[in-house]
Structure 1
Amino acid sequence: MRMIFVNLPVRDIAASREFFTRLGFAFNPEFSDEQTLCMVVEENICVMLLQESRFREFINGDISDAAKTKEVLTCLSCDSREEADDLLAKALAAGATPWKPAVEAGPMYGVSFQDPDGHVWELMHMSQD
């Protein structure tokens, strides 16, 4: 079984833990320490939130400033429009900033926000009707 680990640099591990906990995510302690949080999205999908100093150990070059430039858009599927809107509301209440207006394109509905480190998260519901 294949897994995916999305790696994102963060400025403050404790703040990231608090933010994503408020959105309802849990963390795998086996892959977490004082500089790393393994946020579980689904059984085989994890987001590794790495303190910037730890993230630098894995890259060549500089860390991009996610508040100014975008390198990746992380999109999570939602079971309903309501779930997408609810998760967006939780993110905004926890300190996220809005990113783009809600999008409706045929069977797709999406909302988005920037987390406290500037990373963009899209929440998408794709109707199967």
Structure 2
Amino acid sequence: MSIDVLVNVPVKDIKKSIIFYECLGFKYVKEFSSEDTATMKWNDNFAITLLTHGFHKKLIRGKNTADAEKDIGVFVSFILESPEAVKKFAEVAKENGGDYYEVDLGISKEKLYFLEVEDLDGNILEPNWMVM
């Protein structure tokens, strides 16, 4: 597996989160998963590893795992091929237990279109389309 960016995302229920991320188009990578982790590949450059809160706690040396329903430390932005793909990604998330919302930054949607997509735990993914 060749990945340039791997983002670790703490989740409360790993099995439900695997199903959710598969619905969004991520592919489960068994070879890099365990009962406490699930690597979900988007493409050859980008993947997410879902971590149970207990496993995540082992990696953060005495710090607390944020409750993503109340606090956000990091959210993950990535590029999709069109505004329609961004909207579809968000709608699939909502159909499968997540949610999404739009933030108006005053930038023309002909140049930049993005939505804030929440997973089952409230972690935010930000699919984007932009004119480079």
TM-score (norm 2): 0.88
Alpha-carbon shift at residue 114 of structure 1 (Å): 1.1
CA RMSD of aligned residues (A): 1.8
Deviations 1:31-86 (A, max 9, x none): 01111100102213221100111111111211111111110111121100110011
Contact 2:90 2:99 in 1 (8 A): no
Q: Deviations over 1:80-124 (max 9, x none)?
A: 011001111100000112243466623111112211111011111
- Paired residues in the alignment total 128
Contact 1:4 1:45 in 2 (8 A): yes
Point out 4+ residue stretches in structure 1 off by more than 6 angstroms: none
> Following TM superposition, by how much is the alpha carbon of 1:19 offset from its aligned partner in structure 2, in angstroms?
0.5
Residue 84 of structure 1 is matched in structure 2 by: 86
| In the alignment, structure 1 residue 112 sits paired with structure 2 residue 116 | yes
Q: Give the unaligned 5+ runs of structure 1.
A: none
Could you tell me how far apart the structure 1 residues matched to 2:27 and 2:3 are?
20
**Identical-pair percentage:** 27
Question: What SS is found at the alignment partner of 2:78?
Answer: strand
Structure 2 partner of 1:16: 17
Q: Mark the CA change 1:34 to 1:62 in structure 2 (over 3 Å): closer, same or farther.
A: same
Report if the CA contact (8 A) 2:25-2:42 is conserved.
Answer: no
1:64 aligns to 2:66 (yes or no): yes
Structure 2: which 5+ runs fail to align?
Answer: none
Q: Is the 8 A contact 1:35 1:51 kept in 2?
A: yes
Asked if structure 2 preserves the Cα contact closer than 8 Å seen for 1:39 and 1:47, the reply is yes
SS for the counterpart of 1:105 is: coil
Match of 1:8, SS state, is strand
